[in-house]
Structure 1
Amino acid sequence: MSASDRAGPGMPCWVSLLTGDLAEAQRFYGAVLGWSFRLGSLGEDFSVALSHGKPVAGLGEVARRMGVAVSWTCYFAVDDADLVAARVRERGGTVAVGPLAVGRGRAVLAADQAGAVFGFWEGKVLRGWNIGSGVAPAWLELRTRDAFASAVFYGEIFDWDNRPDLCEVRYEDEAVMVRADGHTVACLRGGAIEAAPDPRIRPRWHVYFRVDDVEKAVEAALGAGGSVVSEPGAGTGRVGREATLCDPEGGMFTVTENGHC
């Protein structure tokens, strides 16, 4: 997560896979999403995924070392990691790692009051990496029990309400939408997660990646040792046709066609 432009404070600025096997993750996501990879600036346990030669996501072989589940994690830009970490604790969340010096910035891995894991980053961010455009993820969605309670939590820790020039939060389509400069950057959606029979369905930030053909992506995922959580079908209305997949280690994500925000 380094370059020259800063994302607006409190806005998504990166996504990263916490994996237990970097080589296996690269093989899987290369097959399913067509990514190539280069060594990251943080050492041999980290790589940057490239789509059409442009950075799209990070991968780090740190899940076992950190004692966390293999998962995709979204990061938000902040001006002061210590201040935001204190706000997380004050509001019933958990700070699991950090603030930790990483390259030229500082990173924190945390969980909200419902247990959904997220991160935040103090430092420079990638120029042109914007949700819903270019090679960046098509969509970020918090799937939780109470979208309004979560909106209050994130609004307070990231100071969304006090930055109307940078951020707009509104209720639409039974969800809370977060916009920056008129562009939707995140969605917070509530639902009956506690009643879901699948133990993998728990409060989480969920990442959508754009593909040309969902069926081909599903076929590639199965061929590469992954699994299907939800079969191809119509999207939420904000993204196109979609399917939810797991990589061989259980990292969950969604592929979608014609994703836009």
Structure 2
Amino acid sequence: MTVSPDPWPAGVPAWADITVTDLGPTQRFYGGLLGWQLSVGGPETGGYVTATAGGHVVAGLRVADVPQAAGWCVYLATDDVAAAVARAVEAGATVVAGPSTVLHLCRTALLADPTGALVGLWESGTHTGWELTDAPGAFVWAEQMSHDPAAARRFYTALFGYEQQDMSAPDFTYTSLAVGGTPAVGIGGYGPGAGDVPAAWTWYVAVEDADAVAPRVAELGGEVVSGPEDTPYGRMLLVRGPAGEVLALLQTPDDDLVA
């Protein structure tokens, strides 16, 4: 478990949020599945909803009148969002939104990377992103998957200067990108059976017991896409929430996860 009030280092995932048109089903789903407590911000925040786990901020939800593509947006930390946007555009990204200043809280931007995956940038103000990681209900990992992992790897390494570790195997392409020697994110390639699945970022949320969580997914209005299954990093399942969003739930080994 990591509890941090400080800004996350550049290139490290700092936040994730989602935009939905109906908060009710989303609140019931994540509250029941992950134990999140949701609080609605004041008018100055546009009604932005903050999720907490164990009293610590872990994610955000935005309510919009106009339907948007369902999906969690993963934000990577940066010390200077404007400079990061400029580097990203030079490396082949398209600016979708921003840079924008959100009160005194943060500055953000939304990009489409060269493979088409949406990714956010997060420059901390008084809001430094999630306060808790590697604990039940909190962030534990994030990865970008596409049909062109080489292009994705080049882009993100140009953006943040990551150190690369090739973890590929036969019929499996994957690179771990590290900051200061610590793994930060993963870049992977879809297998031959993936079809036309679009490039996307997925974030992993820690759970205490993947097998106990799995049957509750449908009860709470979601769907189990795959798993639970054992992986080298723990027992994982991929789920789809009530707005169509996908996220991964990971039960890490007991010595890695502290409740």
TM-score by length of 2: 0.84
1:256 to 245, 250, 253: 250
Structure 2: distance between partners of 1:243 and 1:4 = 29
Match of 1:164 in 2: none
CA contact (8 A) 2:58 2:130 kept: no
State the AA in 1 paired with 2:238: T
Match of 2:166 in 1: 171
The Cα of 1:135 is off from its aligned counterpart by: 5.6
Query: Are the structure 2 counterparts of residues 123 and 88 from structure 1 closer, same or farther at C-alpha, using a change threshold of 3 Å?
Result: same
State the AA in 1 paired with 2:245: G
> What does the per-residue CA deviation read over 1:42-64, in whole Å, with 9 as the maximum and x for residues that have no partner?
535311111111111111124x5
Structure 2: distance between partners of 1:256 and 1:21 = 26
State the AA in 1 paired with 2:219: G
Match of 1:202 in 2: 198
State the AA in 2 paired with 1:126: T
For the residue of structure 1 that corresponds to 2:72, the secondary structure is strand
Unaligned runs of 5+ in 2: none
> What does the per-residue CA deviation read over 1:227-254, in whole Å, with 9 as the maximum and x for residues that have no partner?
121131122x23x111111111101001
Unaligned runs of 5+ in 1: 161-166
The Cα of 1:17 is off from its aligned counterpart by: 1.9
The Cα of 1:15 is off from its aligned counterpart by: 1.3
Structure 2: distance between partners of 1:130 and 1:31 = 19
Q: Do residues 123 (structure 1) and 124 (structure 2) align?
A: yes
CA contact (8 A) 1:148 1:176 kept: no
State the AA in 1 paired with 2:37: S
Match of 1:70 in 2: 70
> What does the per-residue CA deviation read over 1:136-170, in whole Å, with 9 as the maximum and x for residues that have no partner?
31111111122222111012123x1xxxxxx5322
CA contact (8 A) 1:242 1:257 kept: yes
TM-score by length of 1: 0.83
Match of 1:163 in 2: none
Structure 2: distance between partners of 1:212 and 1:134 = 6
CA contact (8 A) 1:131 1:140 kept: no
For the residue of structure 2 that corresponds to 1:169, the secondary structure is strand
Match of 2:101 in 1: 101
For the residue of structure 1 that corresponds to 2:221, the secondary structure is coil
Structure 2: distance between partners of 1:210 and 1:245 = 13
Runs (4+) of structure 1 moved beyond 6 Å?
none
The Cα of 1:127 is off from its aligned counterpart by: 7.6
The Cα of 1:128 is off from its aligned counterpart by: 7.5
Match of 2:30 in 1: 29
CA contact (8 A) 1:48 1:57 kept: yes
For the residue of structure 2 that corresponds to 1:230, the secondary structure is strand
Structure 2: distance between partners of 1:91 and 1:142 = 17
CA contact (8 A) 1:132 1:185 kept: no
For the residue of structure 2 that corresponds to 1:71, the secondary structure is coil
The Cα of 1:80 is off from its aligned counterpart by: 2.2
1:137 to 116, 136, 139: 139
Structure 1: distance between partners of 2:221 and 2:130 = 33
State the AA in 1 paired with 2:247: F
The Cα of 1:130 is off from its aligned counterpart by: 6.5
CA RMSD of aligned residues (A): 2.5
Q: Do residues 190 (structure 1) and 189 (structure 2) align?
A: yes
